[in-house]
Amino acid sequence: MRTTDQLAAPITATDHSQGSENAAVTVVEYGDYQCPHCATAHPVIRALQQHFGEDLCFVFRHFPLLEIHPFAEPAAETAELSGEHGRFWPMHAGLYENQEMLGVPLFVALSEAVGVPKHKLIHALTHHDFGSKIGMDFMGGVRSGVSRTPTFFINGNRYQGAYDFNALATAIRDYREQGDIHLSVPSR
């Protein structure tokens, strides 16, 4: 596998992003809903978003590690269906915050809680309605040299440090202060 230090897949309107499209810093995460390290990083990202406010845009992309996380792909399908109903971020949070219970019963409960009908979820899971979107995210990660989760890119550059608040905040602050060209995030 080719490794790279650059984000090979540009941010598009199909990406899930939070924050200003004109933010000074854009953080892209390749994550897996069943990965315990991603679950550990989830509250850190939320804290960073609070801390940096409009200076930070966060983009999440799916990178399900199917060989070791059998619920990662159906969780991603559940999140994508919720996104189709304008509820991606509440589902994203719910999946990470309840990671120890991943499975169809949780997917159904969370879907109903965010207002997505159960029959639509069952259809999406059965027919892999969002397989192409998840596959696009995954292949963009592969082209960018991603092999594990979470993997972060800050303003298009692979972040190699720890994913605790202080380490990530320092890196984000450095990019913001350098005035590095930020990634363009298309309007949603």
Domain ranges of the chain: 16-178
CA dihedral 98, 99, 102, 108 (to 10 degrees): 30
How does residue 96 score in pLDDT terms, banded at 50, 70 and 90? very high
Digit-coded pLDDT (tens) for 38-76: 999 999 999 999 999 999 999 999 999 999 999 999 999
Q: What angle do CA 99, 66, 31 make, to 5 degrees?
A: 55
**One-letter amino acid for residue 90 of the chain:** P
Q: Mean pLDDT for the chain? A: 93
Q: How far apart are CA 10 and CA 81, in angstroms?
A: 22
Q: Model-level pTM?
A: 0.93
Q: Residue 26: enclosing H or E segment and its boundaries? A: strand 25-31
How does residue 185 score in pLDDT terms, banded at 50, 70 and 90? low
pLDDT at 142: 96
Residue 151 near residue 29, CB atoms below 8 Å:
yes
> In CATH, which superfamily holds the domain spanning 16-178?
Glutaredoxin (3.40.30.10)
**One-letter amino acid for residue 98 of the chain:** N
Query: Above 60 in pLDDT, residue 188?
Result: no
Digit-coded pLDDT (tens) for 138-169: 999 999 999 999 999 999 999 999 999 999 99
